Structure 1
C-alpha cells in the first residue's frame, strides 16, 4: 500500500468508524453464532499474493463483524465495561501512526514526561496521597503481579531476584474470598504458590472481615509462615464490595506487610468527592491500581499503578544492559524499570486526550449519570415481588435474582441461569453472572459511555418478558 492509497483508505476507515459510533446500538450486543463458525469461513492457508484493501474490508464486514461482541453497545451490561470515547480513539490512531516505543526517556521524551504529568493530575484529582508516584501498565493483572513481586523482593532484601528461592521461604499473601483471579495467577507466576494465598472470610456486605484477617495473620505467624502482603479490593469483581482499606492498612503497618489496593474498576469513582468515603489520602498502602480503561472513557488498555516508594518497584524490575544505558538515566524516569515490560506503548496520550476533552467535571458528569441510572434499576428490582437484591450497591453494579421460596437453591440457580441466557440470546442486551453465598445472581453493570434511560427501560422490559416466559 503506497502513501496515496493509505490516505484514501484511512479516510474510508474514519468514515466507517464514525458510522459505527453513531450506529453501534443497532448491532446485536452479542453474536448468535456457534464455536468454529468464524474459523470455518477463513482460508486454510495464508495468501501468497497481495490482496486488495477493498477485499479485506469486505471480508471484515462479512466475516468478522457478525462474530463480534459489541462492548461499546449502550446495552452492554456484563462484566465491567471497557468503555471508550471519541477522544481516546483519536489518540489511539496517533499512537499507532507514530509507532513510538516508549521504554525510556531517550526513546520518547514527550511520552515519558506526559505520563508523569497526567498521572499526577489523576492522583490529585482522586484525592490520593500526594507523595505517590504513578506508572501506566497494560492491565490491573500486571500491576498486581508487579506489587506482589515488589513485596517479595522487599521481604527478601532482593535476594530472590539474585539467587532464587532457597526452599525455606514460607510467604503468605492474604485477600478476601472474593479476590480477583489475577491474584491467584500472580501467586503462581511469583513462585509463591496458590496454596499460600489465604482467602479471608467476608462480612454480610461481601467485604473482607478485618478481624478474620488479623486472626489469619496471627495464626500463620504461630505456624512459622512469613506474612508478606495483603491485597484489598476497592470494589470486588463479583459485587463491587468495598473492603475496609483503612483498617486493613493499619493491620499491614502493624505486622509489616505490603498493602496493595486493587481498585481496578471502582477506583475511577474517587474522582467524585462524594465517593471519597471509600478511601482518602490517609489510607496506609504501598501500591494502588485502577483502570481508566474500565470506567474512565479510555479505551483498552490503560491501567495505572501508584506506589508509595518507587524505589522498591525500580529495584525489583530494573535491568540495564549496556545497550540500554543512556546519558540521562540518572535524571529521568525510565518507565521500562517500573514493571515487567521493556517495550511500552504511548498510553499516556489517551489519558491526556480524554482528560482535556471532557475535563474532570465532564468525566464526573458521566459517572454521576451512571450512578443515577443504577438507583433507578435498584428501585425496579426492590419493588418487584419476585426479585431480590443479593448485595449492597455502593456504586453501579446490581446483583439480583428471581426468587421463589417453594424452589430449592439448585432449581433457582438453574432458573436464573436460563433467564439470563434467554435475554442474552436476543442480542438486545447482554448480562453476566456471579455466585454469592452459592446463589446464582445476574450482574447488571451500568457504565457504558453512551448508556441512557432508554437502554435501561428496554433491558428491564426484556427481562420481564423473558421471566414471564420461563414462569
Structure 2
C-alpha cells in the first residue's frame, strides 16, 4: 500500500543520511568551490525528466542530493562569499528548520499555533526593543526586507488615507508622493509600482559625497510638490544602502518628517541589525524616531532564508491596515496570543520565528554582537588596505561592511571579466558596484566565517591585479 509515512527503518536511514550530509558539508566548506562548475547536462536532464510513478525512496533522494543538487549549488557559506549581503546560516539552523517542518504550524490565528504565536511575539518584541520604539510597538516576520518595506508603505497609505482600504487611490484626493534616495533599494520602486502609487510619484533625492540622502534637497522636493498641489506622505530612508552601506541622516530626516507630518520608514534590511555591535549602537539610535523599520534576520542574525521583519512604532496602525474579519477564522481573543494574519498580507504563514528564536536561545545575544563587530572590523581592515594601496581607489567611506574598489586604469567593460577571474581562481566571489558613475568591485563582509587571512588574501590579489 502506498503511504506518505516513513517506516522506522526509513526514518533511521533518513536521519543518518541527513547527519552525514550536514557534517560533511560543514567540514568541507573552505575547500568547496564558491561558484559551482555547473553541469548543464545534469540540470537539463533534471528539468526534463518526469517525476516517477514509483518513488526512488530515501536512498534515492539522498543520492540525487549528493550527485545532482549539491555539486550545482553556490557555496554561500564559504568564508570568501562576499558578493552580497547574505551570510551563512548559523549552526542550529538546519535543525530548527527541520523541527519547523515537523510541527508545520500555520501562524495565522493563534489557535493553529499557540506556542508559535508567543515565539513570534517574543522575537518581534526583542527586535523592536533594539531600537527603542516604545511600549506600543509591534510587528511581524516577513519573507524579507522587500516585503517588509512594501507592508510598511501599505501601512503608511492606510494611515494617511482612512478610506484607503475601501477606495484605494481613487478617492479624488491629491496624488500622494513618496521620497527616497537615489541609492535606495529597488524594493521601494517595486512597492510603489505594485501598490498603485506609480513611479511618477516617487522622488529619488540626490545624495552627498558619502552617498547619503541630502536633507536640504528632500525639503526642497517636498515644498515643490506641495506647491504643485500634490500630497507628500512618506519618506523611506536607508540604514545601509545596498551598494555602499551608507546610512542616511536619520535624525535630521525625522525632524523634517515631524514638521511635514510624513511617515518615516527606514529600510534597515542591510544595516540596522549592526545596532548589536557596541561600536555602531549610537549610529542607529535615531531609528527610535522611525514609524517603521524593515529588518532582515536572514542577514546579520544568520538565519536561513527566508526571515525578514517589519517593526512599527504603533502596532495598532499595522493591524488597521491588514486586519479583515472572517467568521471561519474567528477564535476567542487571548491577551497572551496574537493573530498574525491581522498584521500582514498572508494568511498561511510558516513558523519563521522558530529559527530566529532558536539561534538567539542556542548561541546567546552576545555571540551575535561579537559577529556583527567582527564583520565591521574586517570590512574596515579591507577598506584601509585598499585606501593605502597604489593602483587601488576606495570609492566609498566604509560606514558598514561594503567596500567598493576601483582598479586604476581599468576600463568599465573589464570589470565583469575581473569578477569572473576572482571567482574562477577561488580568490573570492565579489560583486559589481556603480557609484556616481564609476564602476567598481564590491566586497561585502556579512559572513561570520570570514577571517583576517581571507581579507588579506583578497587585498593581496586586488593589489596584484592593479599592479598588472
Structure 1 partner of 2:266: 261
Q: Distance in 2 between matches of 1:419 and 1:164?
A: 48
User: Is 1:242 aligned with 2:241?
Assistant: no
Q: Distance in 1 between matches of 2:129 and 2:164?
A: 35
Structure 1 partner of 2:459: 460
Structure 1 partner of 2:180: 175
User: Is 1:439 aligned with 2:438?
Assistant: yes
TM-superposition CA deviations, 1:416-456 (whole Å, max 9, x none)? 33222211222442011110011111111112121112322
Structure 2 partner of 1:408: none
Structure 2 partner of 1:198: 203
Match of 1:260, SS?
A: strand
Q: Distance in 2 between matches of 1:245 and 1:125?
A: 16
Aligned residues: 462
Q: Distance in 1 between matches of 2:64 and 2:363?
A: 36
Structure 2 partner of 1:30: 35
Pairing partner for 2:392 from 387, 390, 401: 387
1:279 Cα offset (Å): 2.7
- Whether the 8 Å contact between 2:133 and 2:289 is mirrored in structure 1 is no
- Whether the 8 Å contact between 2:76 and 2:87 is mirrored in structure 1 is yes
Q: Distance in 2 between matches of 1:374 and 1:92?
A: 30
1:267-278 pair list within 5 angstroms: 267-278=272-283
Structure 2 partner of 1:165: 169
1:278 Cα offset (Å): 2.2
Structure 2 partner of 1:308: 313
Q: Aligned in 2, Cα 1:166/1:282: closer, same or farther, shift over 3 Å?
A: closer
1:25-424 pair list within 5 angstroms: 25-33=30-38, 38-157=43-162, 159-166=163-170, 168=172, 169-280=174-285, 283-328=288-333, 332-404=337-409, 412-424=411-423
**Which blocks of at least 5 consecutive residues in structure 1 are unaligned?**
405-410
Q: Distance in 2 between matches of 1:9 and 1:162?
A: 51
User: RMSD over aligned Cα, in angstroms?
Assistant: 2.0
TM-superposition CA deviations, 1:240-288 (whole Å, max 9, x none)? 1100111111111111111100100111110123212323267422101
Q: Aligned in 2, Cα 1:330/1:199: closer, same or farther, shift over 3 Å?
A: same
1:97 Cα offset (Å): 1.2
Q: Aligned in 2, Cα 1:204/1:111: closer, same or farther, shift over 3 Å?
A: same
Q: Distance in 2 between matches of 1:339 and 1:440?
A: 39
Q: Distance in 2 between matches of 1:34 and 1:402?
A: 33
Give the structure-2-normalised TM-score.
0.93
1:462 Cα offset (Å): 3.8
Q: Which moved more, 1:331-340 or 1:200-209?
A: 331-340
Q: Which moved more, 1:270-279 or 1:260-269?
A: 270-279
Q: Aligned in 2, Cα 1:34/1:228: closer, same or farther, shift over 3 Å?
A: farther
Q: Which moved more, 1:414-423 or 1:378-387?
A: 414-423
1:380 Cα offset (Å): 1.6
Match of 1:279, SS?
A: helix
Match of 1:434, SS?
A: strand
TM-superposition CA deviations, 1:34-70 (whole Å, max 9, x none)? 8776234544322222113222222222222222111
- Whether the 8 Å contact between 1:150 and 1:316 is mirrored in structure 2 is yes
Structure 2 partner of 1:429: 428
**Which blocks of at least 5 consecutive residues in structure 2 are unaligned?**
none
